[in-house]
Structure 1
């Protein structure tokens, strides 16, 4: 083949499958579909394939091609309906229509039991788009998996926003079981799995010893060469166990102040007294080896001062997601910072909110200004403060659908 355009135009990709097993019984649960480019070409490996497609501006079309080819191969095998199929997806592909020649295959696969895999990078790049995609997938009966958790510190903070049915531990954790970082990742994932009912999947298991280590890390599903290398789909594969899907996250109705004040006491104070609390929460975002998400509402762009922009830029350099919302704030009010603008009639216009969500901490300061004409430092607010993780997440989810993709970052795709 001459170039990546010909590979995509001819749909010249193939799918191999790797088994997923129940770690306690060894029973087959399903398979992960893995894409390969044409053998003997520079585009055989998935990273090379998608790297070339990205450079050519056709990565989202290639994503549609890969999923359709995976489904076509599965459907041709007449699969056991109890099998679960893990399939990678680039959420940006949902922003373009499915190519007409692939639409029939995509529709035919609707009855398959599919778990769509995404990475934490897609959450940090376009949180609103990803949440819309996953909501639609769940409505269609599909599960969601968060891949490579632990490979990047940001994945832990972003995990509860996606609310995945399956958390896939990065394979490096099995190779460093005694490292403090591994312990922190395992603790955060275990806490999420316990509260949500999600399953934990360990990747890269190559030995019985690693399988045992995976179980001590809380994994219930295993994947790796110990159970089978990627290859053609076996004939007459039957599921011996089934992966349950969990309840989707609760819908956030209202603004952060409305959400929190319904369940927490409200106190009245002035701007000058709120400032130290706000700065304290912002400081939490720049603290530690596992930086949290920071979401803030500033009412109007004039309150997002140059000093504040500099602070948020510093935090965004390490945080997986930083956002500032306010009237006349653009899509990127500071480098690396997501933005969102709203009108003076929007209920958010009256709110001053600072929300921090990390793997081991969560806090929200929510305030609403009273309608009077006091001097700036004496402006009065009703406010509430909460550290209840579920309540903080509900307030944060109310803001995510408003955020634009970060224009100064480019989503980096990786495929197994």
Structure 2
């Protein structure tokens, strides 16, 4: 094979599968599909394969190829329809259309297979609005969503509510460091999310009986690793199994943050001068702790994102997984590390001043709507509401994230799975 272009053109990727096992019964609930390039070539390993595709701008197409060839292998094997199939999705593929020749395979998989699409916090922070569109498209197909490598990076915990995963995959490193404070914090945050949502906790990297015991203490009910089987071609049959459940997905909400919070909390009026201490208090929640939260804020107009504000937000962005500032006239990066979102003058968010903080262990939102006063800026009045209710804050944050654009310019709108409307 001459080069990576020929490999992709020929769809010369081989899928292998690793079992996912119910820790209580030992039954196989599904498999994760993993990609391999042609044996004996420079692209045999998935890291080399995707690295080469990324260099020539064909990473998204390769991602579709890997999923499609995995679906083809599963469909041909005709195994138990209750098995669940885990596939990875790269960020670039969220906004790229499925190649025409692969569309029929993906559509058939939609009709016949139970699929969970795995996403990482790296992808989420890169393209928040694409995340929401991608997860909505996946769930419209009746499929599930998993958040991968949770615990490998503190960002994954803060971003977990935005994915609202059906499955949380604990990073394998946690099994090797069960007594460390970081592990305890990750496990506690995941357990709280799983208890509230009904999500499944899956432990990766189980290689020994000792790892299995630790995984159970961490709340995992499903496991994956060499202890149960290495990546390999699909078996001709599977042992006793149990079905992996999907949870209720979040409902789409087209309201602004003020609309979300104002429907549940009392709305009162105050001046900008009196609201500023509340806003600063919420920013202060984004300290330099070991599990920094997401911070998103609406400023109405760029002039309200002052030099002093830029300094504060840049300081928070240095350790936060996502800091966003929205307003009319704001640049794509109004301060170092801060994601900007330029609003149109007639955008419904233009009239709102919002500060929203979401972390693994804290959640708060100040939402305010300008009543249209004239006069000095500090005397302008707003109708406002404040909440620390986690469910309400997350809904407000998800509504705001629809405006936060990708880091890379010039991308298209997220593509839907073939067959979806």
TM-score range, shorter chain: over 0.9
Q: Which stretch shifts more, 335-344 or 386-395? A: 335-344
1:228 corresponds to which residue?
Answer: 229
Instruction: Within 5 Å, give how 1:287-366 maps onto structure 2.
Output: 287-366=288-367
Note the C-alpha offset of 1:311.
Answer: 2.1
Provide the rounded CA distance (Å) in 1 between the counterparts of 2:320 and 2:240.
40
Preserved contact between residue 288 and residue 319 of structure 2 (Cα < 8 Å): no
Provide the rounded CA distance (Å) in 2 between the counterparts of 1:79 and 1:105.
17
- Deviation track 1:361-403 (CA, whole Å, cap 9, x = no partner) reads 0000111122211211111112111100000001111111111
Question: What is the DSSP-based 3-state SS (H/G/I as helix, E as strand, rest coil) of the residue aligned with 2:255?
Answer: coil
Provide the rounded CA distance (Å) in 1 between the counterparts of 2:177 and 2:86.
26
1:413 corresponds to which residue?
Answer: none
Preserved contact between residue 59 and residue 92 of structure 2 (Cα < 8 Å): no
Q: Which stretch shifts more, 330-339 or 166-175? A: 330-339
Q: Which stretch shifts more, 5-14 or 241-250? A: 5-14
Q: Which stretch shifts more, 194-203 or 247-256? A: 247-256
Preserved contact between residue 27 and residue 239 of structure 2 (Cα < 8 Å): no
Preserved contact between residue 371 and residue 381 of structure 2 (Cα < 8 Å): yes
Q: Which stretch shifts more, 178-187 or 126-135? A: 126-135
2:276 corresponds to which residue?
Answer: 275
Preserved contact between residue 83 and residue 238 of structure 1 (Cα < 8 Å): no
Question: What is the DSSP-based 3-state SS (H/G/I as helix, E as strand, rest coil) of the residue aligned with 1:308?
Answer: helix
2:414 corresponds to which residue?
Answer: none
Preserved contact between residue 336 and residue 406 of structure 1 (Cα < 8 Å): no
- Deviation track 1:104-154 (CA, whole Å, cap 9, x = no partner) reads 211221120100111011110001111101101101100000000000000
Preserved contact between residue 362 and residue 387 of structure 1 (Cα < 8 Å): yes
Question: What is the DSSP-based 3-state SS (H/G/I as helix, E as strand, rest coil) of the residue aligned with 1:377?
Answer: helix
RMSD: 1.5
Aligned pairs, number: 409
Q: Which runs of 5+ in 2 are unaligned?
A: 412-421
Question: What is the DSSP-based 3-state SS (H/G/I as helix, E as strand, rest coil) of the residue aligned with 1:382?
Answer: strand
Provide the rounded CA distance (Å) in 2 between the counterparts of 1:395 and 1:268.
20
Provide the rounded CA distance (Å) in 2 between the counterparts of 1:82 and 1:301.
52
Q: Which stretch shifts more, 21-30 or 368-377? A: 368-377
Preserved contact between residue 91 and residue 133 of structure 1 (Cα < 8 Å): no
Q: Does 1:34 align with 2:29?
A: no
1:104 corresponds to which residue?
Answer: 104
Note the C-alpha offset of 1:330.
Answer: 3.2
Preserved contact between residue 114 and residue 142 of structure 1 (Cα < 8 Å): yes
1:51 corresponds to which residue?
Answer: 51
Question: What is the DSSP-based 3-state SS (H/G/I as helix, E as strand, rest coil) of the residue aligned with 2:402?
Answer: helix
Detail structure 1 runs of 4+ shifted over 6 Å in the superposition. none
Preserved contact between residue 250 and residue 394 of structure 1 (Cα < 8 Å): no
Note the C-alpha offset of 1:238.
Answer: 5.3
Q: Report the TM-score, using the length of structure 1 for normalisation.
A: 0.95
Q: Does 1:137 align with 2:146?
A: no
